[in-house]
Amino acid sequence: MHPAIVYTASRLGLLAVSIGVLYLLGLREPFILLVVAFLVSGVASYVLLSKQRDALSARIAKNRE
Domain ranges of the chain: 3-59
Q: Quote the crossing angle between the two packed helices 30-48 and 50-64, to the nearest 10°.
A: 70
Identify which of 63, 57, 43 has the alpha carbon closest to the alpha carbon of residue 7. Answer: 57
**How confident is the model at residue 38, as a pLDDT?**
97
**Mean pLDDT of all residues in 22-39:** 97
pLDDT surpasses 90 at 65: no
CB 57 within 8 A of CB 2: no
pLDDT surpasses 90 at 46: yes
Task: Supply the pTM of this predicted model.
Answer: 0.87
Identify which of 29, 54, 28, 22 has the alpha carbon closest to the alpha carbon of residue 45. Answer: 54
